[in-house]
Amino acid sequence: MHQRKEFISVVIPAYDESARILSTLRRLDEYLRDHFRDFELIVVNDGSSDNTEDVVLRAMKAIPSIKYSGYKRNRGKGYAIRRGVELSTGDIILVSDADLSTPIEEVEKLLVHYQNGYDVVIGSRGLEGSSIMVRQPWWRELMGRTFNRIVRMLLLKEFKDTQCGFKLFNGSMARELFSRTTIDRFAYDVEILYIGMKRGYKIREVPVKWLNSPCSKVRPLRDSFQMAKDLIRIRLHKNGPKGVKK
């Protein structure tokens, strides 16, 4: 099997993921060993209240590609990913949710566009050609559609789905880009894309397969309010972006 020569870092934010993080790490390690010469799995434990840390530390004995970082207080998904990107050394960085709601095999679709010169390639559930294998509860879908409408109205009209947790970055650009971010929670995706567009990065949105996980960490009222506040912060503190190619 052909192995890619690029070094890939996979950043996995983890909050109370003790029940599934081990199977995720095994699956990622198995796939990446077959498809890349060099890789690392960076798990950032975002202040979990369960034994996520113990599970990952035990897994490191069998899976030497794992790098681990953790802290006591929950800071948010955006903060955890920023920490993981800071620790990365790869030519390419893939951000993936701990539940593998987008299967790791879908990275091949993103890599095609990376090879064609795009700096950031994001998975999307909103484009024609995307495949939603397991749908979210109605209230999550409603939240998502409402949030996306607000994002497109205020900031990023070019994207159908900013919130899919499967994103590929040029490594050096990602480390520079994430060093400029300030949003710690779920709206981090919007800030990343907004800053990337402002700096002239080539960004591509690509349809992917996606399966909803029943163990969502989203808190409808609290997180919706926080995301709305974060969108306003982005709007007030960043200059407007310039074009994106799709």
Percentage of the chain lying above the pLDDT 70 cut: 80
Is the separation of the CB atoms in 55 and 30 below 8 Å? no
CATH number at residue 173: 3.90.550.10
- What is the three-class DSSP state of 53? helix
Q: Residue 160 falls within a domain, yes or no?
A: yes
Q: How far is CA 232 from the centre of its chain?
A: 21
Q: Residue 244 falls within a domain, yes or no?
A: no
Range of the domain at 173: 4-237
pLDDT (average), residues 46-72: 97
Is the pLDDT assigned to residue 154 strictly greater than 70? no
Q: Residue 133 falls within a domain, yes or no?
A: yes
State pLDDT tens for residues 170-227: 999 999 999 999 899 878 898 999 899 889 999 999 999 988 766 655 555 565 666 7
Please state, in angstroms and rounded to a whole number, the distance separating the CA atoms of residues 39 and 154: 37
Q: Residue 245 falls within a domain, yes or no?
A: no
Question: What global pTM score does this model have?
Answer: 0.85
Q: Residue 186 falls within a domain, yes or no?
A: yes
Please state, in angstroms and rounded to a whole number, the distance separating the CA atoms of residues 236 and 240: 10
Q: Residue 223 falls within a domain, yes or no?
A: yes
Q: How far is CA 220 from the centre of its chain?
A: 20
Q: Which residue has the tokens 């294998």?
A: 133
In total, how many domains does the chain have? 1
Question: What is the biggest distance separating any 2 CA atoms in the chain, rounded to whole angstroms?
Answer: 49
Please state, in angstroms and rounded to a whole number, the distance separating the CA atoms of residues 32 and 40: 9
What's the Rg (C-alpha) of the chain? 17
Is the pLDDT assigned to residue 245 strictly greater than 50? no
Q: Residue 74 falls within a domain, yes or no?
A: yes
